[in-house]
Amino acid sequence: MKSIFTDKTLTPTSAELEKALGATYPIWQDLENFTKETAPFTLAEWNFSGEKFGWSYRIKDKKRVLIYLLPRDGYFKAAFVFGQKAMDQIMTSTISETIKNELQAAKPYAEGRGIRIDVKDRSGFEDLLQLIEIKIGN
């Protein structure tokens, strides 16, 4: 499933994002703010990944993307890519078994293993904060 924003010529605005995400918009803002506060020197930007995927939002530090936020209709996905060191940390953390299992099952690529987590409410919010902290620390 692709982004709710698919027009390459129109970068999504905050108002459009809030309308599209509905009740999950404050969660998006909390994740964005937490990432920016935890990682110094972040850059947040919208990115159009082509017709198939539409617009996504990335928060990066100087060398890599820390978190991808992918807008959908009424919710969003938080996506991460973790290298082996971060994977080891995740596996020994208090992060939910569901996320651990999904990451272990993910296909490993040169840059690591990726995961996309549906964010439809605040359940699992603490896991997301831990994933951000692990990503920043590695």
Task: Give domain limits for the chain.
Answer: 14-137
User: What's the rounded Cα separation, in Å, for the pair 19 and 126?
Assistant: 25
* The token pair that represents 115 in the structure block: 């995961």
Q: Are 66 and 35 within 8 A, CB to CB?
A: yes
| pLDDT given for residue 49 in this prediction | 87
Q: Write 87-90 long-range contacts (CB < 8 A, 24+).
A: 87/112, 87/113, 89/134, 89/137, 89/138, 90/131, 90/134
Paired residues of 68 in beta bridges? 58, 79
Q: How far is CA 129 from CA 64, 78, 80, 90, in A?
A: 18, 11, 12, 12
Q: What is the pLDDT along the chain (138 residues), one digit of tens a residue?
A: 678 999 999 999 999 999 999 999 999 999 999 999 999 899 999 999 888 889 999 999 988 999 999 999 999 999 999 999 999 999 999 999 999 999 999 999 988 999 999 999 999 999 999 999 999 999
For the entire predicted model, the pTM comes to 0.93
Does 2.30.30 match the CATH number of domain 14-137?
no
